[in-house]
A and B are shown apart, each in its own frame.
Chain A
Amino acid sequence: GENVEQHPSTLSVQEGDSAVIKCTYSDSASNYFPWYKQELGKGPQLIIDIRSNVGEKKDQRIAVTLNKTAKHFSLHITETQPEDSAVYFCAARDYGGSQGNLIFGKGTKLSVKP
Chain B
Amino acid sequence: GAGVSQSPRYKVAKRGQDVALRCDPISGHVSLFWYQQALGQGPEFLTYFQNEAQLDKSGLPSDRFFAERPEGSVSTLKIQRTQQEDSAVYLCASSLGDRGLTDTQYFGPGTRLTVL
Note whether A and B form a binding pair: yes
Minimal beta-carbon separation of B112 from chain A (angstroms): 8
Do B106 and A107 have beta carbons less than 8 Å apart?
no
Q: Tally chain B residues at the interface, Cβ within 8 Å.
A: 29
A46 within 8 A of B: yes
B4 within 8 A of A: yes
Is B109 touching A100 in the complex (CB atoms < 8 A)? no
List of A residues within 8 angstroms of B44 by Cβ: 104
Give B97 Cβ to nearest chain A Cβ, in Å: 10
Nearest CB in chain A: distance from B25 CB, A: 13
Within 8 A of A (CB), among B31-45: 31, 33, 35, 40-45
- CA A45 to CA B40, docked complex, whole Å: 17
Contact in complex: B103, A101 (CB < 8 Å): no
* Chain B residues within an 8 Å CB radius of A60: none
Check A101–B33 contact: CB distance below 8 A: yes
* Nearest CB of A to B61, in Å: 15
Which residues 7-66 in A have Cβ within 8 Å of B in the complex?
32, 34, 36, 41-46, 49, 51
Chain B minimum-CB-distance residue to A109: B40
Least CB distance, A6 to chain B, in whole angstroms = 8
Would you call A45 and B107 a contact (CB within 8 A)? yes
- Are A104 and B55 in contact, CB atoms less than 8 angstroms apart? no
Give the distance in Å from the alpha carbon of A89 to the alpha carbon of B50 in the complex.
Answer: 25
Expressed in whole angstroms, the minimum distance between the Cβ of B76 and any Cβ of chain A is 18
- In the complex, are the beta carbons of B56 and A44 less than 8 A apart? no
Tell me whether B45 and A44 are in contact (CB under 8 A): no
With contacts A43-B91, A102-B43, A104-B44 taken as known, whether A49 is within 8 angstroms of B99 at the C-beta atoms is: no
Least Cβ distance of B57 to chain A in Å?
11
Whether A98 pairs with B105 at a CB distance below 8 angstroms is no
Instruction: Indicate if the CB atoms of B106 and A46 lie closer than 8 Å.
Output: yes
Instruction: Say yes or no: A102 contacts B110, CB within 8 Å.
Output: no
Q: Are A93 and B107 in touch, CB under 8 angstroms?
A: no
Please tell me if the beta carbons of A101 and B45 are within 8 angstroms of each other in the complex: yes
A residues contacting B by CB (< 8 A) are 4, 6, 32, 34, 36, 41-46, 49, 51, 89, 91, 93-94, 97-107
